[in-house]
Structure 1
Amino acid sequence: MCAIQISKAERTRLSIQKAGRQVLSERGLCVPINELAAAAGVSRANFYNYFASAEALFDSLIVDAALELNTLIDNSFEQISDPALRVANGIRHYCLRAAADPEWADFMLRFALTQSKLVAVMEKSLLRDVRLGVQSGIFRLPQSQEIMVVLMVGGAVLSAISAVRMGLLSAEQAGQQTAELVLRALGDELEHAQEISRATLTTLD
């Protein structure tokens, strides 16, 4: 299979994003353009060819931080109808990503639940599966609590990511335990939640 070729412009954009993610994770949002450009190995003028401001770079990072992974997870669900299994698999994949990409994990831990754009990305897939679970009778919760459910699950996932980054649990342990606890909180039966959280994990293409 041939490797996917990307243009020089796209490589530069990805390089700026990678450097920006690291710098912003370490320093927060008040970082001058000069420092972001230097970290990426580009000139200030070239930086502006890709992002109009540091805020624009940050916005792209916030959305991409979850959107790419969520898309891969969603694509792996094509043959899965059980909404509990979909929720559990999503949680477990986030934990595995945290172990595989520490910079991504640190970025998520610092900014995930403070930015509405990222919450909106996470909400799109999670809320769909939660609603399917309610409709099928697996989950038990009133519609008025949907937004808090999304934030609760997001908080649980971030706690699991933190446990992985601190070395308290392996990515597999954190993912399975968090998935089981979340499913139980949503109203799933204990035996089903335990079985689902330990089921064979979907692969991401």
Structure 2
Amino acid sequence: MSIDRSNPRAMRTRAALIGAGRRLYRERPVDAVTVDDIVQAAAVGKGSFYNHFADREALVRAISSEIRASVETAVTLANEGVSDPARRMARAVCGYLRFGLDQAESAGVLVRIHSGHTSLSAPLNKGLVEDIENGLAAGRFTVATVEAGLLFVMGVTQLALVRVVQEPTPAFAVSLSQQMCALILRGLGLGGAEADLIAAQASDEIVRKGAAPAPPGETAH
């Protein structure tokens, strides 16, 4: 639905609806939130809702896309200057879980409304797909297909985020991210010792210390 972004009032209304949706979806399952709930929380008329969104599902998609875009920004920062697909994978997973600590409300919403952007062609999966493809081409990964790798990584990472949302403490997130990254890298085909080392480094640099730039001199293997 086209929105006149030059109209401040319209943009405020849209922001109020998205903000209300975020708050409600953080606390309740998607199916338990009605359009009436959303407009009441946003303090706008019901007609205003339909000026911006065709239905409740359209609002859910808008919120999900907005949050996932923020996650992608965090992952991009975490992987700045990193070229090795295995290290990029571990740092991306850790960036995702670090997002769960830094943006607890958004992470909680994402857990609730995760809409399964699992297609290879989904724009928000572009970076992950490229990393898996590059890992296969370089012989770093041995997973059967790109799609299998995508679903594996997304599944493990999403469930790890659920646990971080449930227990949002740095110590737990550091431990869990290290374990999950090692599991993912082993599942993609890396040897155990190297997977453990990369996982430990990524967890320390991204989850424990925050999304810092990659260490100087990091190069592909």
Structure 2 unaligned regions, length at least 5 = 1-7, 214-221
Cα distance, 1:76 vs. partner? 4.3
Aligned to 1:107: 109
With normalisation by structure 1, the TM-score equals 0.80
Contact 1:113 1:155 in 2 (8 A): no
Contact 1:63 1:117 in 2 (8 A): no
Contact 2:142 2:188 in 1 (8 A): yes
| Residue type at the aligned position of 1:155 | G
Contact 1:83 1:129 in 2 (8 A): yes
| Whole-angstrom CA distance in 1 between matches of 2:131 and 2:86 | 8
Contact 1:95 1:174 in 2 (8 A): no
Aligned to 1:164: 164
| Whole-angstrom CA distance in 2 between matches of 1:65 and 1:151 | 20
| Deviation by residue 1:47-100 (Cα, 9 ceiling, x = unmatched) | 333323212111112222312211342254341111111111111111111123
| Whole-angstrom CA distance in 1 between matches of 2:31 and 2:200 | 38
Assess, with a 3 A threshold, how the Cα gap between structure 1 residues 31 and 126 changes in structure 2: closer, same or farther. Answer: same
Relative to structure 2, which stretch is displaced further, 37-46 or 114-123?
114-123
Assess, with a 3 A threshold, how the Cα gap between structure 1 residues 34 and 127 changes in structure 2: closer, same or farther. Answer: same
Q: Percent identity?
A: 28
| Whole-angstrom CA distance in 2 between matches of 1:118 and 1:98 | 24
Aligned to 1:24: 25
Assess, with a 3 A threshold, how the Cα gap between structure 1 residues 39 and 197 changes in structure 2: closer, same or farther. Answer: same
| Whole-angstrom CA distance in 2 between matches of 1:165 and 1:58 | 19
User: RMSD of the TM alignment (CA)?
Assistant: 2.8
| Residue type at the aligned position of 1:139 | F
Structure 1 unaligned regions, length at least 5 = 1-6
- Equivalent positions of 1:141-152 (< 5 A) are 141-142=143-144, 145-152=145-152
SS in structure 2 of the partner of residue 131 of structure 1: helix
| Whole-angstrom CA distance in 1 between matches of 2:187 and 2:198 | 14
Aligned to 1:188: 190
| Deviation by residue 1:29-62 (Cα, 9 ceiling, x = unmatched) | 3633221111122222333333232121111122
With normalisation by structure 2, the TM-score equals 0.75
| Whole-angstrom CA distance in 2 between matches of 1:187 and 1:104 | 32
| Residue type at the aligned position of 1:14 | A
Number of residues paired by the alignment?
196
Aligned pair 1:74/2:43, yes or no? no
SS in structure 2 of the partner of residue 29 of structure 1: helix
Aligned to 2:55: 53
SS in structure 2 of the partner of residue 137 of structure 1: coil
